[in-house]
Amino acid sequence: MPVLQPGSATLGVLGGGQLGRMFVHAAQTLGFRTVVLDPDAESPAGLVAHEHLKADYLDAQALDALSERCDAITTEFENVPAQALNALARRRVVAPSGAAVAVCQDRADEKAHFRASGVECAPHALIRGAADLAAVDEALLPGILKTARMGYDGKGQVRVRSRVELDAAWQALKNVPCVLEQMLPLALELSVIVARGADGQIVQFPVQQNLHRDGILAVTQVPAPAVSDALRAQAAESAARIAASLAYVGVLCVEFFVLQDGRLVVNEMAPRPHNSGHYTLDACDLSQFDLQVRAMAGLPLVAPRLHSPTLMLNLLGDLWFDAQGRERTPPWDQVLALPGTHLHLYGKTNPRAGRKMGHLNITAADAQQADQVARQAASLLGLPRDW
């Protein structure tokens, strides 16, 4: 893999959302030119890139243009068509590869990969048709039925307690291939973000403790407050093993469940920087986006250092509306008056319930102080303080 020197190359990204926007900022800091391919004329990344190709991800002319303009190309979300990445890879460095992204796009393939990597996941069954549905082991109930493809942030998922509910849920999901996962007694959720180079070098960020509300990440705490050193080491080693067995290049996030009996099981992975790693922008000497740039440019991967305990609050579009549904501006001036607050808004012009509009990082000299300030900020914004 050739080394692309800062200031002398162009990096491309498929996808124009907030992850692409933060990637573009990181690339531009090193002097790289940037090109975004996204069909949305108002995409957050497209608004800040040097060039925005407004086209579908499978538009042959747009892919040719991206190849002509860029020296290396990445993706900012897992549902970009893998065939687009494969087409680009015939001419340019693409990281992560289409093959790696394809595994992450299909829950059945993903779980098969976890098992092949020797990492425990939840007991599950693949349902491709009526015969598989009828053959489901009762021991998997209650469970969660998830579409095998195109599911994220709790979408395409239904909790089922009985075979009757399972049958109804599969019909509600349009009889598409699904994975039924046994519902496990969870204690908490973790994630590990790794960066791997083409030479096999792997570096990692600290283990992150996450809280989800309605299937969407709400809070990330680092260092993870309820996790033993042994469990941290197991999660970090498992994430590195999963990345290595994919021959992965780039930033990969692996999400885990910690069960009430203390066992660690892998949940899913995302072939890109991840919401739970947004704290790295302010709490680490290198962010996850810095490492994504380095990995795809063949630059050295230096182990990132957490210099400040931190807590991240995800900011959804609900905050832009009062109790009567009238649009408002959140009290950012009051929030920014709190010590150690770092506000990141994504440039999205139309807030709506559940839409990711930004995040707030709180850094402090110790974890207790970060927690106290985060609770003050949550009170000002009207967010729950349930972490």
Crossing angle (nearest 10°) for helices 98-105 and 82-89: 170
pLDDT in tens, 71-117: 999 999 888 898 999 999 999 999 999 999 999 999 999 999 999 99
What pLDDT is stored for residue 152 in this prediction? 63
Tell me the domains of the chain and their CATH numbers. 10-94 (3.40.50.20), 123-182 (3.30.1490.20), 186-381 (3.30.470.20)
C-alpha dihedral (201, 278, 312, 206), degrees to nearest 10? 0
What pLDDT is stored for residue 153 in this prediction? 61
Query: In the predicted model, what is the mean pLDDT of residues 263-274?
Result: 96
What pLDDT is stored for residue 346 in this prediction? 97
> 48: pLDDT confidence band, cut at 50, 70 and 90?
very high
Between residues 33 and 82, the one the model is more confident about: 33
Share of the chain above pLDDT 90, in %: 94
> 149: pLDDT confidence band, cut at 50, 70 and 90?
confident
Query: In the predicted model, what is the mean pLDDT of residues 120-126?
Result: 96
What pLDDT is stored for residue 317 in this prediction? 97
pLDDT in tens, 306-363: 999 999 999 999 999 998 999 999 999 999 999 999 999 999 989 999 999 999 999 9
Share of the chain above pLDDT 70, in %: 99
Query: In the predicted model, what is the mean pLDDT of residues 226-236?
Result: 97
* Residue 322, both tokens: 């009062």
State the number of CA atoms in the 13 A half-sphere of 157 facing the CB: 15
Say what the pTM is.
0.95
What pLDDT is stored for residue 154 in this prediction? 62
What pLDDT is stored for residue 77 in this prediction? 87
How many residues belong to the chain?
A: 387
pLDDT in tens, 163-172: 999 999 999 9
Would the pLDDT of 127 be above 70? yes
What pLDDT is stored for residue 137 in this prediction? 94
Cβ(11)–Cβ(34) below 8 Å: yes
> 232: pLDDT confidence band, cut at 50, 70 and 90?
very high
* Cα 187 from Cα 385, distance rounded (Å): 18
**172-201 burial code (b ≥16 CB/10 A, e <16):** ebeeebbbbbeebeeebbbbbbbbbbbeee
Q: Which of helix, strand or coil describes residue 298?
A: coil
What pLDDT is stored for residue 155 in this prediction? 73
What pLDDT is stored for residue 151 in this prediction? 65
**135-159 burial code (b ≥16 CB/10 A, e <16):** ebeeebbebbbbbbeebeeeebbbe
